[in-house]
Chain A
Amino acid sequence: MMERLATWCRLKSPWILHINAGGCNGCDIEILAALTPRYDVERFGILLKPSPRHADVMVIAGVMTRQIAERVKRVYEQMPEPKFVLAVGACALTGGVFQNCYGQAMRVDQIIPVDVYVPGCPPKPEAIIDGVVKLLEKAKGGAPADEGRRE
Protein backbone atom coordinates (compact mmCIF):
# COMPACT_ATOMS: atom_id res chain seq x y z
CA MET A 1 0.00 0.00 0.00
CA MET A 2 2.64 2.49 1.11
CA GLU A 3 4.80 1.39 -1.74
CA ARG A 4 2.09 2.09 -4.27
CA LEU A 5 1.53 5.47 -2.73
CA ALA A 6 5.25 6.18 -2.98
CA THR A 7 5.34 5.14 -6.62
CA TRP A 8 2.35 7.32 -7.35
CA CYS A 9 4.01 10.27 -5.68
CA ARG A 10 7.20 9.66 -7.55
CA LEU A 11 5.45 9.54 -10.89
CA LYS A 12 3.63 12.77 -10.17
CA SER A 13 6.78 14.71 -9.44
CA PRO A 14 10.03 13.23 -10.61
CA TRP A 15 12.78 15.59 -9.59
CA ILE A 16 15.67 15.60 -11.95
CA LEU A 17 19.36 16.24 -11.60
CA HIS A 18 21.13 17.42 -14.68
CA ILE A 19 24.75 16.49 -15.24
CA ASN A 20 27.05 17.42 -18.06
CA ALA A 21 29.75 14.82 -18.35
CA GLY A 22 31.78 16.89 -20.74
CA GLY A 23 29.67 17.43 -23.80
CA CYS A 24 29.38 20.31 -26.20
CA ASN A 25 26.44 21.97 -24.35
CA GLY A 26 24.05 21.29 -27.18
CA CYS A 27 22.06 18.74 -25.21
CA ASP A 28 22.34 20.76 -22.02
CA ILE A 29 20.81 23.77 -23.67
CA GLU A 30 17.97 21.61 -24.95
CA ILE A 31 17.40 20.11 -21.51
CA LEU A 32 17.29 23.62 -20.12
CA ALA A 33 15.01 24.68 -22.96
CA ALA A 34 12.60 21.93 -21.91
CA LEU A 35 12.20 23.81 -18.64
CA THR A 36 11.45 27.18 -20.21
CA PRO A 37 8.00 28.49 -21.23
CA ARG A 38 7.73 26.81 -24.64
CA TYR A 39 7.98 23.26 -23.29
CA ASP A 40 7.67 23.83 -19.56
CA VAL A 41 8.09 20.35 -18.09
CA GLU A 42 7.21 21.75 -14.69
CA ARG A 43 3.60 21.17 -15.66
CA PHE A 44 4.36 17.46 -15.06
CA GLY A 45 5.82 18.23 -11.66
CA ILE A 46 9.32 17.81 -12.99
CA LEU A 47 11.70 20.04 -11.12
CA LEU A 48 15.36 20.63 -11.79
CA LYS A 49 17.21 20.02 -8.57
CA PRO A 50 20.74 21.08 -7.94
CA SER A 51 21.51 18.38 -5.38
CA PRO A 52 21.79 14.65 -6.10
CA ARG A 53 20.27 13.85 -2.72
CA HIS A 54 16.94 15.34 -3.73
CA ALA A 55 16.75 13.82 -7.17
CA ASP A 56 14.94 10.77 -8.55
CA VAL A 57 16.14 10.98 -12.13
CA MET A 58 19.61 11.77 -13.34
CA VAL A 59 19.65 13.33 -16.78
CA ILE A 60 23.11 12.93 -18.17
CA ALA A 61 24.50 14.42 -21.35
CA GLY A 62 27.91 14.57 -22.88
CA VAL A 63 30.89 12.30 -23.49
CA MET A 64 32.33 10.83 -20.35
CA THR A 65 35.70 12.49 -20.19
CA ARG A 66 38.40 10.94 -18.11
CA GLN A 67 38.28 13.88 -15.76
CA ILE A 68 34.59 13.58 -15.05
CA ALA A 69 33.90 9.80 -15.01
CA GLU A 70 34.81 9.29 -11.36
CA ARG A 71 32.77 12.32 -10.33
CA VAL A 72 29.67 11.11 -12.14
CA LYS A 73 29.88 7.80 -10.35
CA ARG A 74 30.19 9.56 -7.03
CA VAL A 75 27.14 11.72 -7.75
CA TYR A 76 25.13 8.66 -8.80
CA GLU A 77 25.95 6.89 -5.56
CA GLN A 78 24.65 9.85 -3.60
CA MET A 79 21.19 9.65 -5.14
CA PRO A 80 18.54 7.90 -3.02
CA GLU A 81 16.95 4.64 -4.21
CA PRO A 82 15.10 4.05 -6.45
CA LYS A 83 16.99 6.06 -8.98
CA PHE A 84 16.70 6.32 -12.72
CA VAL A 85 19.08 7.50 -15.37
CA LEU A 86 18.16 9.16 -18.63
CA ALA A 87 21.03 9.42 -21.09
CA VAL A 88 20.55 12.22 -23.59
CA GLY A 89 22.35 12.64 -26.87
CA ALA A 90 24.66 10.61 -29.04
CA CYS A 91 27.67 11.52 -26.90
CA ALA A 92 26.22 10.07 -23.74
CA LEU A 93 24.98 6.97 -25.51
CA THR A 94 28.15 5.99 -27.33
CA GLY A 95 30.42 8.98 -27.73
CA GLY A 96 28.95 10.11 -31.04
CA VAL A 97 31.57 11.95 -33.05
CA PHE A 98 33.97 11.70 -30.14
CA GLN A 99 34.28 7.94 -30.23
CA ASN A 100 37.91 6.94 -29.85
CA CYS A 101 39.09 10.33 -28.69
CA TYR A 102 41.74 10.02 -26.02
CA GLY A 103 39.76 12.24 -23.70
CA GLN A 104 36.71 9.98 -23.77
CA ALA A 105 36.85 7.46 -20.96
CA MET A 106 33.88 5.23 -21.81
CA ARG A 107 30.17 5.21 -22.46
CA VAL A 108 27.80 6.32 -19.75
CA ASP A 109 26.23 2.88 -19.40
CA GLN A 110 29.64 1.41 -18.68
CA ILE A 111 29.81 3.51 -15.55
CA ILE A 112 26.24 3.72 -14.30
CA PRO A 113 23.13 1.80 -15.37
CA VAL A 114 20.99 3.70 -17.85
CA ASP A 115 17.22 3.28 -18.07
CA VAL A 116 16.23 5.24 -21.12
CA TYR A 117 18.36 6.31 -24.04
CA VAL A 118 17.46 9.39 -26.05
CA PRO A 119 19.38 9.52 -29.33
CA GLY A 120 19.86 12.70 -31.29
CA CYS A 121 22.50 15.35 -31.60
CA PRO A 122 21.00 17.17 -29.87
CA PRO A 123 17.51 15.72 -29.42
CA LYS A 124 14.65 18.19 -29.61
CA PRO A 125 13.19 19.19 -26.25
CA GLU A 126 10.10 17.23 -27.32
CA ALA A 127 12.26 14.15 -27.74
CA ILE A 128 13.66 14.63 -24.26
CA ILE A 129 10.14 14.95 -22.85
CA ASP A 130 9.28 11.80 -24.77
CA GLY A 131 12.23 10.09 -23.09
CA VAL A 132 11.00 11.22 -19.68
CA VAL A 133 7.53 9.88 -20.46
CA LYS A 134 9.00 6.52 -21.42
CA LEU A 135 11.05 6.54 -18.25
CA LEU A 136 7.94 7.17 -16.18
CA GLU A 137 6.14 4.31 -17.90
CA LYS A 138 9.04 2.12 -17.01
CA ALA A 139 9.00 3.33 -13.42
CA LYS A 140 5.28 2.62 -13.21
CA GLY A 141 6.04 -1.01 -13.85
CA GLY A 142 7.40 -1.21 -10.31
CA ALA A 143 10.88 -2.60 -10.12
CA PRO A 144 13.13 -1.21 -12.80
CA ALA A 145 13.34 -3.60 -15.69
CA ASP A 146 16.66 -5.33 -16.12
CA GLU A 147 16.72 -4.63 -19.79
CA GLY A 148 19.48 -2.25 -20.62
CA ARG A 149 20.91 -2.42 -17.14
CA ARG A 150 24.37 -3.60 -16.47
CA GLU A 151 26.02 -4.67 -13.29
Chain B
Amino acid sequence: MRAEGSEGSFIEGLRSELGDRILEARVLGPRRVAISVKPGDHRIAMEALKKFGGSHMSTITGTDMGEAIEISYHVWCYQAKMEVSIRTGIPKSSPIIETVSDLIPGSVLYEAEARDLLGIEFKGLPYEGRLVLPEDWPEGVCPLRKDWKPDWLK
Protein backbone atom coordinates (compact mmCIF):
# COMPACT_ATOMS: atom_id res chain seq x y z
CA MET B 1 0.00 0.00 0.00
CA ARG B 2 1.29 3.41 -0.91
CA ALA B 3 0.34 6.85 0.15
CA GLU B 4 -0.70 9.48 -2.34
CA GLY B 5 2.27 10.36 -4.49
CA SER B 6 3.18 12.02 -7.70
CA GLU B 7 2.58 10.39 -11.06
CA GLY B 8 6.30 9.81 -11.67
CA SER B 9 6.90 7.89 -8.49
CA PHE B 10 3.72 5.93 -9.13
CA ILE B 11 5.06 4.82 -12.52
CA GLU B 12 8.34 3.86 -10.85
CA GLY B 13 6.40 1.76 -8.39
CA LEU B 14 4.52 0.07 -11.21
CA ARG B 15 7.74 -0.62 -13.07
CA SER B 16 9.22 -2.35 -10.08
CA GLU B 17 6.18 -4.64 -10.09
CA LEU B 18 5.89 -5.26 -13.80
CA GLY B 19 9.40 -4.68 -15.18
CA ASP B 20 9.67 -5.01 -18.93
CA ARG B 21 6.05 -5.80 -19.36
CA ILE B 22 5.38 -2.07 -19.50
CA LEU B 23 6.06 -1.11 -23.08
CA GLU B 24 5.40 2.57 -22.58
CA ALA B 25 4.34 4.69 -19.64
CA ARG B 26 2.96 8.22 -19.91
CA VAL B 27 1.49 10.82 -17.63
CA LEU B 28 -1.78 12.15 -19.05
CA GLY B 29 -2.34 14.78 -16.40
CA PRO B 30 -2.72 15.14 -12.67
CA ARG B 31 -3.58 11.73 -11.21
CA ARG B 32 -3.79 10.23 -14.71
CA VAL B 33 -1.31 7.61 -15.88
CA ALA B 34 -1.37 5.46 -19.00
CA ILE B 35 0.72 2.34 -19.54
CA SER B 36 0.89 0.14 -22.62
CA VAL B 37 1.27 -3.60 -22.33
CA LYS B 38 1.11 -6.58 -24.68
CA PRO B 39 -2.25 -8.36 -24.92
CA GLY B 40 -2.21 -11.07 -22.29
CA ASP B 41 -0.11 -8.98 -19.96
CA HIS B 42 -3.10 -6.79 -19.20
CA ARG B 43 -4.30 -9.33 -16.66
CA ILE B 44 -0.91 -9.35 -14.95
CA ALA B 45 -0.91 -5.56 -14.90
CA MET B 46 -4.33 -5.55 -13.34
CA GLU B 47 -3.19 -7.98 -10.64
CA ALA B 48 -0.25 -5.69 -9.94
CA LEU B 49 -2.55 -2.68 -9.64
CA LYS B 50 -4.44 -4.38 -6.84
CA LYS B 51 -1.37 -3.75 -4.68
CA PHE B 52 -2.11 -0.03 -5.09
CA GLY B 53 -5.76 -0.46 -4.29
CA GLY B 54 -6.68 -0.63 -7.96
CA SER B 55 -9.93 -2.52 -7.72
CA HIS B 56 -12.35 -0.07 -9.33
CA MET B 57 -12.88 -0.47 -13.05
CA SER B 58 -13.94 2.96 -14.26
CA THR B 59 -14.62 1.87 -17.79
CA ILE B 60 -13.24 0.04 -20.79
CA THR B 61 -12.72 1.93 -24.03
CA GLY B 62 -12.25 0.18 -27.31
CA THR B 63 -10.92 2.27 -30.17
CA ASP B 64 -10.57 1.37 -33.80
CA MET B 65 -7.06 2.50 -34.73
CA GLY B 66 -7.13 1.31 -38.31
CA GLU B 67 -5.08 -1.90 -38.31
CA ALA B 68 -5.58 -2.64 -34.65
CA ILE B 69 -8.22 -2.25 -32.03
CA GLU B 70 -6.89 -0.58 -28.93
CA ILE B 71 -8.46 -1.42 -25.61
CA SER B 72 -7.99 0.84 -22.62
CA TYR B 73 -8.88 -0.39 -19.16
CA HIS B 74 -9.29 2.58 -16.86
CA VAL B 75 -8.72 1.51 -13.29
CA TRP B 76 -9.03 3.79 -10.28
CA CYS B 77 -6.60 2.99 -7.46
CA TYR B 78 -8.27 3.79 -4.17
CA GLN B 79 -5.09 3.95 -2.09
CA ALA B 80 -2.74 5.56 -4.57
CA LYS B 81 -5.48 7.92 -5.80
CA MET B 82 -4.47 7.42 -9.39
CA GLU B 83 -6.48 6.65 -12.53
CA VAL B 84 -4.43 4.16 -14.52
CA SER B 85 -5.24 3.40 -18.13
CA ILE B 86 -3.88 0.05 -19.19
CA ARG B 87 -3.69 0.02 -22.96
CA THR B 88 -3.24 -2.93 -25.21
CA GLY B 89 -3.70 -3.45 -28.92
CA ILE B 90 -5.17 -6.45 -30.65
CA PRO B 91 -5.34 -7.08 -34.41
CA LYS B 92 -8.60 -6.10 -36.05
CA SER B 93 -8.67 -9.31 -38.07
CA SER B 94 -8.93 -11.47 -34.94
CA PRO B 95 -10.08 -9.24 -32.07
CA ILE B 96 -9.88 -11.75 -29.24
CA ILE B 97 -8.69 -10.98 -25.73
CA GLU B 98 -9.01 -12.62 -22.37
CA THR B 99 -11.64 -11.24 -20.05
CA VAL B 100 -10.77 -9.46 -16.83
CA SER B 101 -14.21 -9.99 -15.35
CA ASP B 102 -12.87 -12.68 -13.04
CA LEU B 103 -10.35 -10.22 -11.58
CA ILE B 104 -12.77 -7.29 -11.36
CA PRO B 105 -16.38 -8.56 -11.48
CA GLY B 106 -17.68 -5.06 -12.14
CA SER B 107 -16.24 -5.04 -15.65
CA VAL B 108 -18.79 -7.47 -17.12
CA LEU B 109 -21.08 -4.83 -18.60
CA TYR B 110 -18.23 -2.75 -20.00
CA GLU B 111 -16.84 -5.78 -21.81
CA ALA B 112 -20.28 -6.71 -23.10
CA GLU B 113 -20.71 -3.14 -24.37
CA ALA B 114 -17.35 -3.22 -26.15
CA ARG B 115 -18.28 -6.55 -27.69
CA ASP B 116 -21.52 -5.07 -29.03
CA LEU B 117 -20.09 -1.87 -30.40
CA LEU B 118 -16.66 -2.96 -31.62
CA GLY B 119 -16.92 -6.69 -32.10
CA ILE B 120 -14.20 -7.54 -29.60
CA GLU B 121 -14.48 -11.07 -28.34
CA PHE B 122 -13.72 -11.44 -24.64
CA LYS B 123 -12.72 -15.00 -23.84
CA GLY B 124 -14.51 -16.16 -20.70
CA LEU B 125 -17.03 -13.31 -20.40
CA PRO B 126 -20.04 -14.60 -18.46
CA TYR B 127 -22.63 -12.24 -20.04
CA GLU B 128 -24.15 -13.52 -23.25
CA GLY B 129 -26.23 -11.80 -25.88
CA ARG B 130 -26.70 -8.20 -26.84
CA LEU B 131 -26.35 -5.48 -24.26
CA VAL B 132 -26.96 -2.14 -25.94
CA LEU B 133 -27.71 -2.62 -29.61
CA PRO B 134 -31.30 -2.97 -30.85
CA GLU B 135 -32.71 -6.42 -31.44
CA ASP B 136 -33.12 -5.78 -35.16
CA TRP B 137 -29.51 -4.69 -35.55
CA PRO B 138 -27.72 -6.81 -38.17
CA GLU B 139 -25.33 -9.44 -36.81
CA GLY B 140 -21.65 -8.66 -37.06
CA VAL B 141 -22.04 -4.92 -37.74
CA CYS B 142 -20.10 -2.87 -35.22
CA PRO B 143 -21.12 0.79 -35.26
CA LEU B 144 -18.08 2.16 -33.49
CA ARG B 145 -15.62 0.77 -36.02
CA LYS B 146 -14.32 3.42 -38.33
CA ASP B 147 -15.29 1.50 -41.47
CA TRP B 148 -18.95 1.65 -40.47
CA LYS B 149 -20.71 4.82 -41.46
CA PRO B 150 -24.28 5.86 -40.78
CA ASP B 151 -26.59 5.98 -43.79
CA TRP B 152 -26.58 9.72 -44.17
CA LEU B 153 -22.82 9.80 -44.68
CA LYS B 154 -22.76 7.10 -47.35
Contact = CB atoms under 8 A, between A and B. Distances in A.
Interface of A: 65-67, 100-103
Given A67-B134, A100-B150, 8 more contacts: A66-B134, A66-B136, A66-B137, A67-B135, A101-B150, A102-B143, A102-B150, A103-B134
Interface residues of B, number: 7
A102 B152 CA distance: 9
Contacts of A102: 143, 150
Contacts, number: 12
A100 B149 CA distance: 11
Nearest to B152: A100
Interface of B: 134-137, 143, 150, 152
> For the complex, would chain B's binding face be called helix, strand, loop or mixed by DSSP majority?
loop
12 contacts: A65-B134, A66-B134, A66-B136, A66-B137, A67-B134, A67-B135, A100-B150, A100-B152, A101-B150, A102-B143, A102-B150, A103-B134
A103 B144 CA distance: 12
Contacts of B150: 100-102
A144 to B, nearest CB: 32
Contacts of B137: 66
Nearest to A68: B134
A65 B134 CA distance: 9
Q: Which 8 A-B pairs have the closest CB atoms?
A: A66-B134, A67-B134, A102-B150, A100-B152, A102-B143, A100-B150, A66-B136, A67-B135
Contacts of A100: 150, 152
B104 to A, nearest CB: 28
Nearest to B141: A102
